[in-house]
Structure 1
């Protein structure tokens, strides 16, 4: 992240896949001095300069591009993996899926996605409580790692009515609210599935705090991994209108469909051969 322009909000690394929740700041947030510093880090040369304004603009766009950011991460991960295991060749089977997430006080889309990410090892039966899974942002967040640096901003969005003093206090309260949000969700999608809180109670005899949040959540995987935009209906329609001319497939031009789940909407491409209407 010192070379490119992004911030990891949440993550989980599983045996055969991973999820990253990444924030890309506006290109206008970075001044020319910071841009040059990142360029020198990227090139490994403390004295290099931009040749012209076009090169500078191209680099600015590149380090703010989600495809370049994730591609850079995957490439470096494969290099590390092959070196550690004395192997070679590709590791990832296909291109990553990406979605745009609404972040606003009017929608809990961000909380839902964070909970989906954090509960991956619980659904897989690896741990009982997501805090016990080492390779995830939730455990990192509870440990005070850099993954939670923006939690005070999320407090301002999602913790209305709670009083807090200072950044650290806001971060602490947001993590409590987020845990309560997760615990109120069902572990699996079937109607008779226990909530995560109930599951924890039966397994550990502990009494975690929980809030009565929406429980129809877990295992709605395609909603989060196979769509283009996630948010309220107004947010999805706004992005569809803004980017509809750019959302094209290389091989086939397919219509887009809206998928509603309670008050959260997604925008995703219709599969080939899917029925219309």
Structure 2
């Protein structure tokens, strides 16, 4: 069998050790992560609080030349976002994966983005996140007493001196009676929250500066702007979460994602992380605090789904190998697979779940994925971005065997993918 097949067939022995690999990091690794964990100081010059940063730490306005499909105004929105290193040729070591993981959580807290799950791979990363509606989530900062809440909130990212500088600027404007300028200053800070683009910009730029300093290099680290897919159903969110978790399995790094330290499932199951466990609960539509209250439903549901996907893929590979043996065209690996016997699959799952161990562009390039009505409504809001000649706006996913569409009402896509649908760099 191939190395990936060997990994899948093997048991999960040693997985916990792998997941805890950095549990007792050396002094050099801990020192390298100090800059990631440290609070951000105020930049020299006024105005650092309302703008983004470039690779050199200079403040710049965040440009948006690319039209990105966003959620409905007034509602929370779920996104699968991902980014890849330049040419896929820069590979992160364990310390760098750890740094990127920490930075994702750090910026999510500041940005008020709720991470459902994530996976940090050698040359790319995925995040599944829910972005709350800005008007509702930020209302508390605009109400009486909101200024103190805002200062407390930004202290999760900025140093005490930086927070004090921001507070003093607000105070000076108030004393001068410049209420409009004061309100604008607060809005510039709030504009960096509840925004998927600002969140990803901050993660990528901050990590690039840290990585470049570590390797004494200059320039961009990432191939392009991040990709995003708007998620529009609970089933789609669950399957995208599973797809993200299974990245290290598809890559042949582990036989079970619980053995891979840099994904949400391992952080929840092995690391005992409250934030990661809440994300898993969200993924399977359970109360977000149920796991920490001792309710194992979310954990067991997620664990069984991951096991099912792996077992189902092994069973499919067995059938392919058996057919090859019958035709007399089997490789040595296929003969060994048939000799081992067909893996048992506990229960069949509907729709796309059975195919989640295969790379697909549906979860990275489809722009929008969800119910038919959700996809069609998204098209209506962004109709100017599409050809007026297009008549069908929501299409079902194709079966990876090429014999039709998957009968799944929760996984319509906006982009009608035709070429290389199964097989993707993400």
Question: Shorter chain as normaliser: what TM range?
Answer: 0.7 to 0.9
Q: In 1, are the aligned partners of 2:264 and 2:276 still within 8 Å (CA)?
A: yes
CA, structure 1 residues 165+266, in 2 after alignment: closer, same or farther (shift >3 Å)? Answer: closer
CA, structure 1 residues 269+165, in 2 after alignment: closer, same or farther (shift >3 Å)? Answer: closer
Q: 1:265 aligns with which of 395, 412, 425?
A: 412
Which residue of structure 1 lines up, in the alignment, with residue 209 of structure 2? 79
CA, structure 1 residues 267+125, in 2 after alignment: closer, same or farther (shift >3 Å)? Answer: same
3-state SS, counterpart of residue 184 of structure 1: helix
Higher radius of gyration, 1 or 2 = 2
Q: 1:144 aligns with which of 261, 269, 272?
A: 272
Q: Say if 2:113 is the partner of 1:6.
A: yes
Worse-matched range after superposition: 29-38 or 139-148: 29-38
Which residue of structure 1 lines up, in the alignment, with residue 327 of structure 2? none
Could you tell me the TM-score, scaled by structure 1's length? 0.75
Q: Say if 2:162 is the partner of 1:15.
A: no
Q: Say if 2:306 is the partner of 1:178.
A: no
CA distance in 2, matches of 1:192, 1:266: 25
CA distance in 2, matches of 1:68, 1:24: 11
Q: 1:110 aligns with which of 237, 240, 244?
A: 237
Q: Say if 2:213 is the partner of 1:90.
A: no
Q: Say if 2:189 is the partner of 1:59.
A: yes
Deviations 1:195-214 (A, max 9, x none): 9xxxxxx9xxxx99955324
For 1:186-265, what aligned pairs fall within 5 Å after superposition?
192-193=316-317, 211-214=347-350, 215-245=354-384, 247=385, 258-261=394-397, 262=406, 263=408, 264-265=411-412
Which residue of structure 1 lines up, in the alignment, with residue 293 of structure 2? 168
Q: Say if 2:241 is the partner of 1:133.
A: no
CA, structure 1 residues 76+193, in 2 after alignment: closer, same or farther (shift >3 Å)? Answer: same
3-state SS, counterpart of residue 200 of structure 2: helix
Q: 1:123 aligns with which of 225, 241, 250?
A: 250
CA distance in 1, matches of 2:379, 2:123: 32
Between the two structures, name the one with larger relative contact order (CA 8 Å, sep ≥ 6). 2
CA, structure 1 residues 48+168, in 2 after alignment: closer, same or farther (shift >3 Å)? Answer: same
Shift of 1:150: 4.1
3-state SS, counterpart of residue 15 of structure 1: coil
Q: 1:46 aligns with which of 148, 156, 164?
A: 164
Q: In 2, are the aligned partners of 1:180 and 1:209 still within 8 Å (CA)?
A: no
Shift of 1:127: 0.6
How many pairs align?
A: 248
Q: In 2, are the aligned partners of 1:99 and 1:230 still within 8 Å (CA)?
A: yes
CA, structure 1 residues 182+211, in 2 after alignment: closer, same or farther (shift >3 Å)? Answer: farther
Worse-matched range after superposition: 258-267 or 122-131: 258-267
CA distance in 1, matches of 2:119, 2:306: 15
Shift of 1:35: 3.6
Which residue of structure 2 lines up, in the alignment, with residue 199 of structure 1? none
3-state SS, counterpart of residue 212 of structure 2: helix
Q: In 2, are the aligned partners of 1:10 and 1:136 still within 8 Å (CA)?
A: yes
CA distance in 1, matches of 2:194, 2:218: 29
Q: In 2, are the aligned partners of 1:229 and 1:267 still within 8 Å (CA)?
A: yes
Q: In 2, are the aligned partners of 1:230 and 1:236 still within 8 Å (CA)?
A: yes
CA distance in 2, matches of 1:193, 1:10: 28
Structure 1 runs not aligned, ≥5 long:
196-201, 272-277
CA, structure 1 residues 266+42, in 2 after alignment: closer, same or farther (shift >3 Å)? Answer: farther
Could you tell me the TM-score, scaled by structure 2's length? 0.51
